[in-house]
Amino acid sequence: MGVFDSGVGGLTVLHECLVTMPHEDFVYLGDHARLPYGPRPLAEVRRFAREIASYLQEQGVKLVVNACNTATSAALPQLQEQLDVPVVGVITPEAHAAVQATRNRRIGLLATEGTVEAGRYRELVHALDAGVDFLPVACPRLVPLIESDDPFGAKTTDAVREYAAPLKEAGVDTVILGCTHYPLIRPIFQRVFGRDVTLVFSAEETAQEVAQTLARKGYENDPAREGRYRFLTTGDPDAFREMGARFLQLPIADVEHVEVAALAAA
Ligand code: DGL
């Protein structure tokens, strides 16, 4: 299976996939050379997502997981139209889980500017319950901080407090962490919001959707075998290896470098 993100955030989705499907093979691609996607125009992110998904399809994967909320917001339907293999994104499972979880029908969203601008969460939440008050907040500083040398430092806590403030003031009881990077600093969100607010992440639900898609289509590997993993980045392989091992808590032996031009050629 192919899994991609702009950086290390999609590893949160990969982790849940490894737990759910240890017998499957995975190729993970982080587009570090072009990170962050959040501030870019949606049309540009759509182009990147199409290049990467085509590249992964050429590698022979049987399903592609778009493990980036910004890229899912920008491009999921286009990828599904374009590829021959199934494509699973990360937004729908979270919107569904949030509508089920809220009791006061006030849901907040923390995400990148691109994800907020695309408005897909609002559409999906309102398709399920048109009476929900939906409050999106764009968090431009979080992804660069999570990808930095000090992801758990005071700057990150300050930024989370600032972005959470309008949601706390509005009394939301459910917050969608609508960016695959955010679970990497989950304890910070939990401390800032406290116990009474339900935090919704996509990784687990997305892994379930992937597993069900494989089962229904009869694409599963033999459950007795052990899966193999490949890690690719358009950026610096050593930096990705170090950060990937820290966040995934799995030793990553080899990281292969892929030129952005190779993606564009796919
Ligand atoms: N991990 C991505 C997301 O889920 C994007 C982060 C970024 O590149 O801005 O939105």
Q: What is the mean pLDDT of the chain?
A: 95
Kindly report, residue by residue over 144-157, the tens digit of the pLDDT: 999 898 999 999 99
Q: Quick one: 133 and 154 in the same domain?
A: yes
Domain membership of residue 142 as a residue range = 91-201
Residue 168 pLDDT > 90, yes or no?
yes
How far away, in angstroms, is 8 Cα from ligand 1 center?
9
Q: Quick one: 97 and 196 in the same domain?
A: yes
Q: Quick one: 104 and 181 in the same domain?
A: yes
Q: Quick one: 158 and 140 in the same domain?
A: yes
Distance, CA of 66 to CA of 62 (rounded, Å)? 13
The model's confidence at residue 252, banded by pLDDT at 50, 70 and 90, is confident
Q: Quick one: 70 and 98 in the same domain?
A: no
Q: Quick one: 226 and 147 in the same domain?
A: no
Distance, CA of 165 to CA of 142 (rounded, Å)? 15
Distance, CA of 171 to CA of 107 (rounded, Å)? 9
Q: Quick one: 196 and 252 in the same domain?
A: no
**Is ligand 1 within 6 A of the CB of residue 124?**
no
For residue 112, give every residue at least 6 positions away whose Cβ sits within 8 Å of its Cβ, in sequence order, or none.
Answer: 36, 37, 38, 39, 69, 70, 138, 139, 140, 143, 179
Distance, CA of 117 to CA of 99 (rounded, Å)? 20
Q: Which of 76, 90, 112, 185 to mutate to test the pocket of ligand 1 (most atoms within 8 A of CB)?
A: 112
Q: Quick one: 58 and 100 in the same domain?
A: no
Type of residue found at 27: V
pLDDT mean over 11-31: 95
Q: Quick one: 75 and 141 in the same domain?
A: no
As annotated, the active-site residues are 68, 179
Q: Quick one: 96 and 135 in the same domain?
A: yes
Neighbours of 137 (CB within 10 A): 18
Kindly report, residue by residue over 68-99, the tens digit of the pLDDT: 999 999 999 999 999 999 999 999 989 999 99
Q: What is the CATH number of the domain that holds 237?
A: 3.40.50.1860
**Is ligand 1 within 6 A of the CB of residue 6?**
yes
Type of residue found at 182: Y
Q: Find out whether 1 and 210 touch, Cβ atoms under 8 Å.
A: yes
**Is ligand 1 within 6 A of the CB of residue 179?**
yes
> How many domains does the chain contain in total?
2
**Is ligand 1 within 6 A of the CB of residue 115?**
yes
**Is ligand 1 within 6 A of the CB of residue 143?**
yes
Kindly report, residue by residue over 114-139, the tens digit of the pLDDT: 999 999 999 999 999 999 999 999 99
- What SS3 string covers the chain? CEEEECCCCCHHHHHHHHHHCCCCCEEEEECHHHCCCCCCCHHHHHHHHHHHHHHHHHCCCCCEEECCHHHHHHHHHHHHHHCCCCEECCHHHHHHHHHHHCCCCEEEEEECHHHHHHCHHHHHHHHHCCCCEEEEEECCCHHHHHCCCCCCCHHHHHHHHHHHHHHHHHCCCEEEECCCCHHHHHHHHHHHHCCCCEEECCHHHHHHHHHHHHHHHCCCCCCCCCCCEEEEECCCHHHHHHHHHHHHCCCCCCEEECCHHHHHCC
pLDDT, position 147: 86
How far away, in angstroms, is 13 Cα from ligand 1 center?
13
Q: Quick one: 35 and 99 in the same domain?
A: no
Residue 253 pLDDT > 90, yes or no?
no
The model's confidence at residue 204, banded by pLDDT at 50, 70 and 90, is confident
Distance, CA of 65 to CA of 89 (rounded, Å)? 6
How far away, in angstroms, is 195 Cα from ligand 1 center?
26
Last residue of a domain, one of 186, 201, 216: 201
**For the whole model, what pTM was predicted?**
0.94
Q: Quick one: 164 and 39 in the same domain?
A: no
Last residue of a domain, one of 201, 227, 243: 201
